[in-house]
A and B are shown apart, each in its own frame.
Chain A
Amino acid sequence: MQQLVNRIVLCIFIMLGSFSLIVIIKYWSEIDFNFKIPVIDVISLGITIFLAWWVADKIEKGRTEERFEKQLIIDKLNELDSCLKEFKDWIDRNNYFLESLIVGKLTEYRSIASNISDALKENYETISEDYKGNKSLPERLTVLKQLCTLIPRHQQDIEIVLSEGEYYYNSDRVDKIDKLINLIRQEIFQLQLRINKI
């Protein structure tokens, strides 16, 4: 309903603008008004109405798409933030984690981050450009994945151990994971603020 009202208002404004333009042109070229309506004027009016409607429709569609994309990115950022919060609580609460579960979760998060990154590249190039030289969200999640699942080849790292399909982290590793998750969540928050301002 709101969209229709917007479209009608835009249409009226464009028609008034077109009409004023015609009057000004007629006044300055000193052509007399007469009350006989030539066919060409009727056609011209029809074209003006059509163009006014079409332009209003285009503008409204553009605005709707922009709002939709913006909301979609913000929703994805919220989803990723909730996932990371849940993941952090899970890591803090437990001592060991099933390998397939932790890898699956981190893969899913990176996939969400990858979608966000693509949407930013497509719709907000300036924000996307800011990442050059810094780590992007998917890259940060790769680091998180490495922190949670990369076991050294030879020496057994005392911070992370994989035994019988389960990961064990000591408090130092949990601390590092917590810090990285906090950093990513802060970046998500900053990103949401920037997108909201646009």
Chain B
Amino acid sequence: MKSNTINIPEVFTRFPGGRYNVGKRDSGEELRECILWPKLQKAISDGEKLTIVLDGGAGYGSSFLDEAFGGLVREHHVDVNTLRDKLKFISVEDPYCVEEIWEYIENAAAGK
């Protein structure tokens, strides 16, 4: 299985903002709609894995992570198992960030 990568600080921003696309800040919604969802669709159709690098950013707010990753389940109805199969996270600087993301994905699937 091939793998492609999204390095968030490199391709999106080092200073992630809040949840929605309002104001000037780089939001979780913007990451999901402009980068994450198109790349995930391609990864699913090509049978590839999608690696997401979180290291190098100034820190990710809870709303940002919830909207970017939980939003894949809420807005695009992606199955949790598909996400578990396709997404791989790299976060050496803050390993618990990955656990936090999975918590938001599970919560979104549970309709919380």
Contact = CB atoms under 8 A, between A and B. Distances in A.
Summarize A's interface: helix, strand, loop or mixed.
helix
Interface in A60-109: 99-100, 103-104, 106-108
B63 A162 contact: yes
Q: Which of B15, B62, B67, B94 has the most CB of A within 10 A?
A: B62
Contact of A164 (B23, B58, B103): B23
Contact of A149 (B62, B99, B103): B62
Interface residues of A, number: 24
B10 interface: no
Contact of B61 (A139, A149, A153, A164): A149
B48 to A, nearest CB: 29
A107 B60 contact: yes
A12 interface: no
A162 B62 contact: no
A165 B63 contact: no
Interface in A127-154: 138-139, 141-142, 145-146, 149-151, 153
Given A107-B94, A111-B93, A165-B17, A145 B62 contact: yes
Contacts, number: 65
A185 interface: no
B96 A114 contact: yes
B25 interface: yes
Summarize B's interface: helix, strand, loop or mixed.
loop
Interface string A39-68: 000000000000000000000000000000
A164 B100 CA distance: 25
B62 A146 contact: yes
Nearest to A111: B94
B18 A162 contact: yes
B66 interface: yes
Contact of B59 (A103, A138, A150): A103
Given A100-B58, A104-B58, A150-B63, A110 B96 contact: yes
Interface in B21-80: 23-25, 58-63, 66-67
B7 to A, nearest CB: 17
Contact of B17 (A99, A142, A145, A153): A99
21 contacts: A99-B17, A99-B61, A100-B58, A100-B59, A103-B16, A103-B58, A104-B59, A107-B60, A110-B97, A111-B93, A114-B95, A114-B96, A141-B96, A142-B99, A142-B100, A145-B61, A151-B18, A153-B66, A153-B67, A164-B23, A165-B24
Interface of B: 15-19, 23-25, 58-63, 66-67, 93-97, 99-100, 103
Listed from nearest, the 5 A-B pairs whose CB atoms lie closest are A107-B59, A150-B62, A149-B61, A103-B59, A138-B96
Given A104-B59, A141-B96, A150-B63, 10 more contacts: A99-B25, A104-B58, A107-B58, A107-B59, A107-B60, A149-B63, A151-B18, A151-B19, A162-B18, A164-B23
